[in-house]
């Protein structure tokens, strides 16, 4: 909606008797007894419904817990702003909740499970690789890989026999883009092999915590994931050795830049590579599945994506030649569509950090050691900050009123904020905008349902059942 009106509700919903930010610090509100236990169990298995219920019942922040574990569930944008404004050393990311699954997959030296100086050094070395020049140079490659994926879909003999799940298609596409962008075309030739090696680990970190507990037993999921990760390490170590022995001088090769920089040890480089590949492709591929659902269920949005792509990328159906790196900035509707899809369906329903000291958030006392479970899902649907929050409307980001713009900037946090913000956020948004534009330019999609699927996944938010559509080629000569 162009220039949409501002929500008329107060800035935060606070049921009577809950935390008062003006007066004295209060304990966290929240359920007790069986409702508390049920909520704890559900937030670790099917987060969306319980997040919505807790927010509606207890407001922008509430507490859950069992002996030895305290959670503060935060969804109100104003409280989230408070949390993000605290210094990074107020929190820990290398906490016991991350050690069980995430750290096992990415490595204990990964920047996403690091704190303090280790985090600053590791992230700083990788951050230097995400220059605007590198991002711009990846635009033609992303479109070329999108065309290859689309060509493979259209060449399928069974196309038209039934719905086609595009989720596996976009996963292969995104990991190819991720590996080539970060580590060059040679390693990208092994992207299918790398995808297969990561497949089991991605399912592993979504498994119940008890199934992730460390153990030396063979023939278990953890043992199989360990074997896959050893194979990934062998691939990465060989590439590190090659970059050191035979540097190419390619300014776009992130792995070579890390090796030449010499700030990180080889084991640290390996952990960052595992992080960039694993986190970079799985979250973006899931976000692209959601984006396909949102755009395909809105025929006017799909048609506008197509018309814009024809004008910017050239050639109806994507038949034009090379595209200049500046094309992304001109895909304005595509970027708004991506932004709106990420508002409703962030790559992760929740993020987590541990309070390293006692603090106050939303007028409530947070004890040291509390696991802060913050939710971009709740912030993106908060009725105090969004007009008709459950409606998919990319034009809500087109010329909003100043007050609405301020509210939406506060509540749009799919990548987090601060020094632990997702390091690949710019690449992810670029991939999503370019791929959805190219797909709209070349494909007609008919959803198998008129309803958006239920979200599944605690670490990565995916649509239940993938992304099945009736897929056909765009008719020649028809816009």
pLDDT in tens, the chain (479 residues): 444 444 544 444 444 344 544 445 789 999 999 999 999 999 888 999 999 999 999 999 999 999 989 999 999 999 999 999 999 999 999 877 776 678 888 999 999 999 999 999 999 999 877 888 888 889 999 999 999 999 999 999 899 899 999 999 999 999 999 999 888 888 889 999 999 999 888 888 877 666 677 777 788 888 899 999 999 999 999 999 999 999 888 777 888 889 988 899 999 999 999 999 988 889 999 999 999 999 999 999 999 999 999 999 987 665 556 788 889 999 999 999 999 999 999 999 999 999 999 999 999 999 999 999 999 999 999 999 999 999 999 999 999 999 999 999 999 999 999 999 999 999 999 999 999 999 999 999 999 999 999 999 888 999 999 999 999 999 866 55
Residue 25 lies in a domain: no
Residue 185 is classified by DSSP as H
Domain housing 162:
33-473
d(CA 194, CA 242): 18
Q: How many structural domains are present in the chain?
A: 1
Residue 196 lies in a domain: yes
pTM reported for the whole predicted model: 0.92
Residue 304 lies in a domain: yes
Residue-wise DSSP of 225-237: HHHHHHHHHHHHH
Residue-wise DSSP of 300-317: HHHHHHHHHHHHHH-STT
Q: Which residue has the tokens 């035979």?
A: 246
Q: What are phi and psi of 63, to 5 degrees?
A: -115, 145
Residue-wise DSSP of 54-121: HHHHH-SEEEEEETTEEEEEE--HHHHHHHHHS-GGGEESS-HHHHHTHHHHH-TT-GGG--HHHHHH
Residue 69: beta bridge partners?
Answer: 66
Q: What are phi and psi of 183, to 5 degrees?
A: -130, 5
Residue 3 lies in a domain: no
CATH number, domain containing residue 134:
1.10.630.10
Half-sphere exposure of 186 (CA within 13 A, CB side): 12
Half-sphere exposure of 62 (CA within 13 A, CB side): 26
Residue 479 lies in a domain: no
Residue 16 lies in a domain: no
d(CA 401, CA 380): 18
User: Of 1, 5, 84, whose CA–CA distance to 402 is shortest?
Assistant: 5
Residue 113 lies in a domain: yes
Residue 187 lies in a domain: yes
């Amino acid at each position: 909606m162009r220039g949409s009106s501002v929500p008329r509700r107060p800035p935060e919903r606070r049921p009577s008797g809950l935390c008062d930010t003006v007066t004295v610090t209060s304990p966290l509100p929240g359920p007790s007894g069986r409702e508390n236990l049920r909520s704890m169990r559900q937030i670790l298995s099917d987060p969306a419904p319980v997040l919505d219920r807790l927010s509606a019942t207890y407001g922008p922040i509430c507490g859950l817990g069992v002996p030895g574990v305290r959670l503060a569930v935060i969804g109100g944008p104003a409280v989230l702003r408070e949390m993000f404004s605290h210094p990074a050393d107020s929190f820990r990311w290398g906490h016991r909740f991350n050690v069980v699954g995430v750290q096992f997959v990415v490595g204990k030296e990964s920047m996403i499970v690091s704190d303090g100086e280790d985090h600053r050094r590791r992230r700083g070395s990788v951050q230097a690789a995400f220059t605007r020049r590198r991002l711009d140079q990846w635009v033609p490659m992303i479109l070329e890989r999108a065309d290859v994926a689309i060509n493979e879909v259209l060449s399928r003999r069974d196309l038209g026999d039934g719905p086609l799940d595009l989720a596996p298609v976009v996963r292969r596409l995104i990991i190819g883009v991720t590996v080539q962008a970060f580590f060059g075309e040679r390693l990208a030739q092994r992207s299918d092999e790398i995808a297969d090696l990561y497949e089991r680990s991605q399912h592993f970190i979504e498994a119940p915590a008890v199934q992730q507990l460390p153990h030396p037993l063979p023939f278990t999921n953890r043992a199989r994931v360990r074997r896959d990760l050893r194979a990934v390490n062998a691939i990465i170590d060989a590439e590190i050795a090659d970059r050191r022995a035979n540097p190419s001088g390619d300014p776009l090769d992130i792995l070579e830049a890390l090796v030449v920089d010499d700030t990180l040890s080889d084991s640290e480089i390996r952990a960052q590579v595992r992080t960039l590949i694993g986190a970079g492709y799985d979250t973006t591929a899931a976000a692209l599945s959601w984006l396909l659902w949102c755009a395909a269920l809105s025929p006017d949005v799909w048609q506008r994506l197509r018309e814009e792509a024809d004008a910017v990328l050239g050639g109806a159906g994507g038949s034009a030649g090379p595209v200049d790196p500046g094309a992304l900035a001109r895909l304005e509707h595509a970027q708004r569509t991506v932004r709106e899809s990420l508002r409703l369906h962030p790559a992760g329903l929740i993020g987590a950090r541990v309070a390293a000291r006692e603090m106050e958030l939303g007028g409530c006392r947070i004890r040291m050691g509390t696991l802060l479970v913050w939710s971009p899902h709740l912030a993106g649907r908060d009725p105090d900050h969004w007009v008709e929050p459950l409606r998919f409307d990319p034009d809500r980001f087109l010329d909003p009123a100043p007050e609405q713009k301020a509210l939406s900037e506060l509540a749009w946090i799919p990548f987090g904020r601060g020094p632990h913000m997702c390091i690949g956020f710019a690449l992810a948004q670029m991939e999503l905008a370019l791929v959805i534009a190219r797909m709209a330019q070349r494909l007609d999609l008919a959803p198998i349902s008129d309803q958006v699927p239920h979200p599944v996944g605690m670490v990565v938010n995916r649509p239940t059942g993938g992304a099945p559509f009736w897929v056909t080629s765009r008719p020649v000569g028809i816009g």
